[in-house]
Amino acid sequence: MSFLLSCPNCGLRDVYEFKYQGEVTKRPSGQPSQRELSAYVYFRDNVAGIQREWWYHRVGCGQWFIAERDTRTNTVLGTEIPLPARSPDR
Amino acid sequence: MRLPKQPNELIDRETVVSFSFEGSPVSGFRGDTIGSALYVAGRRVFSRSFKYHRPRGLLCCSGQCPNCMLTVDGVPNVRVCVEPIREGADVRPQNVLGSLDRDLLGVIDRFAGPFTPVGFYYRTMIRPRRAWPLYEKFLRHVAGLGRVPANVESRRYDTEHLNVDVLVIGGGRAGRTAAAEAAADGTRVLLVDERGGTGADGYQVLAPARAIGIYEGGLVPVDAGDVLYRVRAARIVVATGSVEQPLVFPGNDLVGVMLPGAVRRLVDDWAIKPGERAVVVGADDRGLDVTDQLQRAGVEIAAVVDLRSSETARISASGSGGRLRSVVIGPSARKVGCDVLVASGGRQPAYSLLAQAGALIEYEPRRSIFLPRELPAGVETAGSVAGTGDPAAAPLASYGTSEGDKCFVCVCEDVTEKDVRRAVAEGFDSIELAKRYTTVTMGPCQGKLCHLGSIRLLARETGTPEDEIGTTTARPPWAPVELGLLAGRHHEPMKRSPLHFRHEQAGASMMWTGAWRRPFAYGDVEAEVRAVHQRLGVIDVSTLGKIVVDGAQAGELLDRLYPNRFSDLAAGRIRYGVPTTDGGRILDDGTVARLGDELFYVTTTSTGSDSVCEWFEWWNTVWGYDAEIVNLTGALAAINLAGPQARDALASLTDVDVSNEALKYLDARELSVAGVPCLALRIGFVGELGYELHFPASAAEHLWDALVHAGAVPFGLEPQRILRLEKAHVIIGQDTDSESNLLSAGMPWILKLDKEDFVGRFAAELAQERGLGERLVGFTMPSTTLPPEGAQVVIDGWPAGRVTSARVSEQVGRTIGLAWVRPEFATDGAEIEIRVSGSLARAAVTLTPFYDPDGVKLRS
């Protein structure tokens, strides 16, 4: 894995500068069932295709952002700092 | 013998350079390689082959084949044909028993043939099983090429990063032209050249250096000897050229059989006469054109065979002592005496880097070579790597094999034509299987000289066209790399606290804790514990994580991040905090002090500072609270002053009222100590009255000295571990693991389920609903027994838990520890057994701290 990733603050950088935090998941709200909780905590879609995922510019500006990446080719389609949800959802 | 001056010779005849070979002196000129100097000195046998120990001589003379690999100054497998001559070098043969000319293992070639067929190591020497140790000893001795010396001088390797617009790989004519063109408009161009060479026309040159792969994102690692450059380029121009392919015929590995490039280099570069009488067989003009060099060198040309026009079906070389003497060739099958046979089957583009980058490799039947097609974006070719070149004949897979000498497809691994036939007969009929079974293409040349040949043979033997057979996967590294280069510089990153040199001066024994170096103890562990209990101690806790959370919604953010509440914490007060994940895992622990309406000061464990800060920032990116998170870990030092005399010592160094009324347990105050502005946190990890002072790191030594001067005894990590265990304070990650939760770890009071949602709430509710499977409890036992960490807890003869921490406490007068047990044993006084050194020792469960259970000392 040696692709380049564009930090919304710093621009195109070597992927080794970043920490990968996995695909974007949706945190259940209210009183979720145990099945929903298990799915949220343990299960990931692991798509062969375009995935929305969390990245952290650890060796850089310290920004968390979301990237859209094709997991088959490591082509990064775009990156963005997400709008805050201010709710339990993510 | 040197020839008269050649027009483009590389040697400087004025400067003589000497080295030793097998202990005898050899000399050459500057500009020679070790290989050319040896050749001119009359040496023809350079190595012994991998399996059969056959004599081998210069074949490609361009650093690709294994034939000239020698040990130079202790470094094995140096290809001396391209290794520049250097004064005093110690050159020795390898893979021989005896000498190059008389290798006792050469007997394998003559007698062991029937016993060492392809894959012999899978099926011979298996029985009798008892004899295996003997076989193994012998095999280990003869296997492999070269030896790594036992006492290697350590060398330094580095990694550097380079960013350019255009990277040109290959410094031949096409590469140089492409680089100059690209650089014409001011574009930043880097050219990587295997041979020497300098920059020109506005581009930079890295030489001698080799690109060893093309990875995604245009990443090209370049081996420049001691430095591995990680080059990133927007455009990559591959100009790696093409590789002359040997022909497959009996005796094709005899010393004297050469590729045209070898003759060209011997004559043009070093002015050396290759031999006396030569035969030339070629499939294209470039192969046949070496007659020019041979004539110029005064070599008699006995025969020239152009494979494009002749009906040659048989070539057979024979010799004596491994040296070429004659060849039978051509439609007439006449025998021609010669000592040089230039045999070339045309040129195969060196497409490996392109294939790694994602190009499609297709067989071109008319020319019988593989060509790169459909180049990926950002990758281009220049020159003959694209397959441009003279019209060439498609050579036969092999020429006459029913009689004569061995017929090699792969000189690196000593794989013969017969081996490939046998592999196909045994069912290994796909190229990937045949490759792994015969190890063809898996030797030092990595298929440069044998990949094409082995596919042609497989095609003939299986009756399948070459394009259906396809190629094997091209993987990095494209050329051999020293392991040290990949390992990089040997270094062990270390974090030092701002008090590091004070600890060293005080004679502390230092230990690793994560990346930190911390004092284990300064001397007598027990004495340091006693000093804290009875008088006064200081410990450097600068490694603790220190995070400021500042903003109108800082309290709300912390309420969402922790299972307990912080928005209702009064300014100047401290609360213990244990962040957990939504899966229920305990992440870390530390204290949270409220310094103002909008300002919180969070401490974390020493190892948790970065991860907790990242965790906070991640959630706040999701939620967007009005709060800034700043990691001050490196900027601040911290010292814990603890012991019954702590208040008096602090009072002597500050003007502020630090009485028990003014600065209560769990109070946080900003005050000046010995002139240093500090944040004093009155907490008690070690169980005695204590103040944790946080202050700018630059003042660390000054404040430390002042506290020591005031009578405080420095104590290390080991005394601190005893002290904290006496209070049954857990260390996250040692006493807890990923299965632990707040309830099982005995911290139910932390959990505030009456507040709104927080990270970890779901898991906490679930844990409460399900009940506990295990609980973390304290235990005591006689101080004559000390269970190791991880010792088994046994109940009624069955394993029922494990010890996570244990120490002998002088203060308590017993061995104390923490252990996970089944919940029914989590009662004061319950009896358990612990396995220590194979026998069972009795212990009693304790649910309260072993020392000062009511925290009277902390509050005093």
Which residues form the domain of B222?
158-239
Task: Say if the Cβ atoms of A88 and B757 lie within 8 Å.
Answer: yes
Q: Tell me how many domains chain B contains.
A: 5
Give yes or no: residues B234 and B167 share one domain: yes
User: Is residue B318 one of the residues assigned to a domain?
Assistant: no
Q: Do A86 and B618 touch (CB under 8 A)?
A: no
Residue A90 lies in a domain: no
pLDDT in the model for residue A90: 42
Q: Measured between alpha carbons, how far apart are the two ends of chain B, in Å?
A: 97
Do the domain assignments include residue A26? yes
Check pLDDT > 50 for residue A58.
yes
Q: Would B131 be classed as within a structural domain?
A: no
Query: What CATH number does residue B192 fall under?
Result: 3.50.50.60
pLDDT digits (tens, 9 = 90+) for B639-671: 999 999 999 999 999 999 999 999 999 999 999
Domain match, B701 and B591 both = no
Angstrom distances, CA of residue B495 to CA of B85, B492, B515, B640: 44, 10, 6, 19
* Cα diameter, chain A: 42
DSSP string, B387-424: T---------S-S--SSSS--EEETTTTEEHHHHHHHH
Answer yes or no: do B583 and B645 share one domain.
no
In a domain, A64, yes or no: yes
CATH number of the domain within which A39 lies: 3.30.2270.10
Give me B282's structure tokens: 């070629």
Place of tokens 């020839």: B3
Largest CA-CA distance found in chain B, in angstroms, rounded: 115
Instruction: Please tell me which residue of chain B has the smallest CA distance to A87.
Output: B623
pLDDT value at B130 more than 90: no
Facing B614 at nearest CB: one of A28, A56, A86: A56
Predicted confidence (pLDDT) per residue in B11-25, tens digit: 999 999 999 999 999
Could you tell me which of B208, B679, B758, B241 has the C-alpha nearest to residue B448?
Answer: B241
Q: Using CA atoms, how far apart are residues B503 and B195, in angstroms rounded to an integer? A: 53
On chain A, the residues whose CB falls within 8 A of the CB of B630 are: none
Task: Write the CA distances from B519 to B386, B407, B606, B639, integer angstroms.
Answer: 63, 68, 14, 13
| Phi, psi dihedrals of residue B694, rounded to the nearest 5° | -115, 130
Residues B665 and B621 grouped into a single domain? no
- Mean pLDDT is lowest, of A82-86, B91-95, B679-683, B774-778, for A82-86
Residue B667 lies in a domain: yes
Higher pLDDT, A83 or B813: B813
The count of C-alpha atoms lying within 13 angstroms of the C-alpha of B521, restricted to the half-sphere facing its C-beta, is: 13
Question: Containing H/E element for B546?
Answer: strand B545-550
Is residue B253 within 8 Å of residue B415, measured between CB atoms? no
B818 has pLDDT over 60: yes
Check CB contact of B769 with chain A, cutoff 8 Å.
Answer: no
Residue B199: pLDDT band with limits 50, 70, 90: low
Residues from A contacting B (CB-CB < 8 Å) are 1-4, 14-15, 19, 21, 27-29, 32, 34, 37, 40-42, 54, 56, 58, 62-65, 74, 81-88, 90
Contact between chains at B618 and A42 (C-beta distance less than 8 A): no
- Asked if B526 and B570 sit in the same domain, the reply is no
Q: Which of B611, B652, B653, B613 is nearest to B632 (CA)?
A: B613
Q: Euclidean distance between the first and final Cα of chain A, in Å? A: 27
pLDDT tens digits, residue range B382-399?
999 998 877 888 888 888
The reply to whether B527 and B640 lie within a common domain is yes
Do residue B33 and residue B84 come from a single domain?
yes
User: Three-class SS of residue B107?
Assistant: helix
Residue B504 has, within 13 A of its CA and on its CB side, a CA count of 7
Summarize the confidence of residues B102-127 as an average pLDDT. Answer: 71
Domain co-membership, B799 together with B651:
no
- CATH number assigned to the domain comprising residue B628: 3.30.70.1400
What is the C-alpha to C-alpha distance for residues B545 and B174, in angstroms, rounded to an integer? 57
Which pLDDT score, from 0 to 100, does residue B365 have?
85
Compute the distance between CA of residue B419 and CA of residue B425 in angstroms, rounded to an integer. Answer: 10
Smallest CA-to-CA distance from B76 within B140, B24, B144 is with: B144
Q: Which residue has the tokens 């502390």?
A: B508
- Looking at residue B76, which CATH number applies to its domain? 3.10.20.440
The tens digit of pLDDT for each residue in B23-34 reads 999 999 999 999
Do B567 and B692 belong together in one domain?
no
| Domain co-membership, B714 together with B639 | yes
CA distance linking residue B663 with residue B659, whole number of Å: 6
Give domain status of residue B800, yes or no. Answer: yes
Are B226 and B391 in contact by the 8 Å Cβ rule? The answer is: no
Residue range of the domain that includes A11: 4-80
Please, which pLDDT band fits residue B114 given cuts at 50, 70 and 90?
A: low
In a domain, A85, yes or no: no
- Mean pLDDT along residues B413-427: 91
CB B58 within 8 A of CB B263: no
pTM (2 d.p.): 0.82
Which CATH number characterizes residue B826's domain? 2.40.30.110
CATH code of the domain in which B667 resides: 3.30.1360.120
More confident residue, B468 or A55: A55
Q: Of B121, B150, B166, which closes a domain?
A: B121
How far apart are the C-alpha atoms of A53 and B854, rounded to whole Å? Answer: 48
Domain count, chain A: 1
Residue B573 located in a structural domain: yes
Q: Does residue B698 belong to any structural domain of this protein?
A: yes
Contact B622, A84 (CB under 8 A): yes
B207 and B73 fall within a common domain? no
One domain, residues B617 and B645: no
| Mean pLDDT across A7-16 | 94
The average pLDDT across B605-632 equals: 94
Alpha-carbon gap, residue B268 to B293, rounded angstroms = 7
CB within 8 Å of chain A, chain B residues 419-458: none
B99 in a domain, yes or no? Answer: yes
Nearest 5 degrees, angle CA B542-CA B546-CA B551?
A: 160
Structural domain includes residue B292? no
ipTM of this complex:
0.95
3-state SS assignment for residue B857? helix
CA distance B523 to B502: 14
Residue with tokens 């005899």: B254
Among B239, B267, B284, the domain boundary falls at B239
Q: How far apart are CA B353 and CA B477, in angstroms?
A: 9
Q: Is residue A24 part of a domain?
A: yes
Residue B248: phi, psi to the nearest 5?
-105, 110
Residues B90-108 pLDDT 10s: 999 988 877 888 777 777 7
Nearest CA in chain B to A43: B583
